[in-house]
Amino acid sequence: MEKIISVIFLIIIVALLIIILKQLFLKTNNHFKLLKKLYPKEINNVNSFWKLMLPHNYLLLDIEIMFWYSLPFYYSKIDVKNMPKSALPYHYLLKKLNVRILIYVVVFVVSIFLLFVVTTMF
């Protein structure tokens, strides 16, 4: 019985890890689109977020924008009133993705904790 419960928890943990990685991928993609709308001059020649990760493109950004972009959680750097209208859908989508990522990470941590409790209990 212990083995079955451990395998179930491991499957849940792997599935949650895949979901978290997918959400982070979506966050990075949408964050790049927002970045492109907010700072068009800084990343003029960059078409995708894959190209932004190249050192010669990434280092063109200033330190504050680099830090803001590379965090796993999105926070609003500019007041919504001052954002261009074309950037607002990405802003709201990133706020929704923040909530999803937070929920999945909490469930992931609780699942790992329960896995250790169940395996040490038996």
**pLDDT tens for each residue of 88-104:** 999 999 999 999 999 99
Give the residue ranges of DSSP H helices in 2-121: 2-38, 49-52, 55-58, 63-70, 88-121
**Could you list the residue range(s) of the whole structural domain that residue 101 is in?**
2-121
Judge whether 92 and 30 are in contact, CB under 8 Å: no
Q: Collapse the DSSP code of 116 into the 3-class scheme (helix H, G, I; strand E, B; otherwise coil) and give the result.
A: helix
Residue 6: pLDDT band (50, 70, 90) is confident
Residue 14: pLDDT band (50, 70, 90) is very high
What is residue 122's predicted lDDT score, i.e. its pLDDT?
Answer: 64
Number of structural domains, the chain? 1
Judge whether 112 and 14 are in contact, CB under 8 Å: no
pTM confidence score: 0.80
